[in-house]
Amino acid sequence: MTLLLRYREYFFISLATIAKGLCSMTKNKVQYLLTLLMLLVVSCSSTPEKSSTQSQIQPQETPKSTKSMATQSAPVMELYSYDASKWSRDAIQNFNNGVRYLKSNSKKASEFFYKAIALAPSMEPAYFNVLKIAINGKHLTEIDKIYALYLKQKMASPRLMTLMGLAKRMKGEFKVSKKLYSDAIKLNNSYLTAILNMAILEDVYLGDVESAQKYYLMYQKQLQIQGKKDKNLKNWLADIKQRMKHRQNDTTTSEGSKGNSK
């Protein structure tokens, strides 16, 4: 079974935060913030896969199951506001340098993203990109390092939590992965990527078909609400229903055998 991975960035800056102080700022400060905004917008559209900090996360592994887990069919737009005024020019420059090296030199890109994080600890896109690099390269120690930084900052970002959940699942830390997916869903219960990853975790890795069915149905409901489709979902639900039926029959047979033996 192959689980595909697709990314897309929807990077929004808190314009209200920037606009709030424009009236009282000097001309140079206003020009600085406008330049800051331009840099961030450009950085979102000039990177691999048509984005700088891709947010559409799907697993890309071959788990131990015969169930076909196809990718989600449509990207999810997730709003995440940033107070860009807290990010220094050096932090933004390091982030943009990391973006430039994403395709050609992931190691160098990571170095720049870490520098950006050191200068601007709240720069969520830098965490996201460096974590994506660690996952793609299967750098398990790096994943732990990024997770420690994430815990320190406690960023309420569903897409970062979901990607971190994927990283922890890759390491076999299923309980941590489950909590991250759960936290992401609590923050945004319409976030399809988190819901589907939770369903897959419960189904394929934890073997809890009842819980998996719950999340597949939640995924189905959100697809309907958002006017989207996943052609594979019908088969997944049928498979879950069939396995639950077999499990119930096995339990009944087992209880009947115990009764007869008495």
pTM of the model: 0.68
Q: Check residue 9 and give left, alpha or beta (phi > 0: left; psi -120 to 50: alpha).
A: beta
Look at residue 227 in the predicted model and tell me its pLDDT.
96
Look at residue 262 in the predicted model and tell me its pLDDT.
57
% the chain with pLDDT above 90: 56
Q: How far apart are CA 133 and CA 135, in angstroms?
A: 5
Look at residue 5 in the predicted model and tell me its pLDDT.
35
**How distant is the alpha carbon of residue 101 from its chain centre?**
22
Look at residue 245 in the predicted model and tell me its pLDDT.
84
Q: What pLDDT, in 10s, does the model give residues 115-171?
A: 999 999 999 999 999 999 999 999 999 999 999 999 998 888 999 999 999 999 999
DSSP tag of 103? T
Confidence of residue 255 (pLDDT cuts 50, 70, 90): low
pLDDT averaged over every residue in the chain = 74
Mean pLDDT check: name the lowest of 36-40, 99-103, 235-239: 36-40
Residue 147 in contact with residue 178, Cβ under 8 Å? no
Confidence of residue 252 (pLDDT cuts 50, 70, 90): low
Evaluate if residue 9 carries a pLDDT over 80: no
Please give the span between the terminal C-alpha atoms of the chain, in angstroms, as a whole number. Answer: 44
Mean pLDDT check: name the lowest of 25-39, 104-118, 220-234: 25-39
- The full set of domains in the chain, from first to last, is 39-70+106-255 (1.25.40.10)
Evaluate if residue 219 carries a pLDDT over 90: yes
Q: What pLDDT, in 10s, does the model give residues 41-69?
A: 333 323 223 233 333 333 323 222 323 33
Q: What pLDDT, in 10s, does the model give residues 169-207?
A: 999 999 999 999 999 999 999 999 999 999 999 999 999
Look at residue 17 in the predicted model and tell me its pLDDT.
39
The CA distances from residue 64 to 61, 144, 205, in Å, are 10, 24, 8
Token duo for residue 238: 């049928």
Look at residue 58 in the predicted model and tell me its pLDDT.
36
DSSP tag of 84? G
Residue 247 in contact with residue 213, Cβ under 8 Å? no
Token duo for residue 1: 């079974």
Look at residue 165 in the predicted model and tell me its pLDDT.
95
Look at residue 50 in the predicted model and tell me its pLDDT.
28
Token duo for residue 155: 């960023």
Token duo for residue 245: 């039926």
Residue 7 in contact with residue 49, Cβ under 8 Å? yes
Q: How far apart are CA 111 and CA 89, in angstroms?
A: 17
Q: What is the mean pLDDT of residues 233-250?
A: 86
Evaluate if residue 91 carries a pLDDT over 90: yes
Look at residue 13 in the predicted model and tell me its pLDDT.
32
Q: Check residue 195 and give left, alpha or beta (phi > 0: left; psi -120 to 50: alpha).
A: alpha
Give Dmax (Cα) for the chain. Answer: 90
Q: How far apart are CA 158 and CA 191, in angstroms?
A: 8
CB atoms within 10 A of CB 151: 10
- Decide which of 249 and 195 is more confident: 195
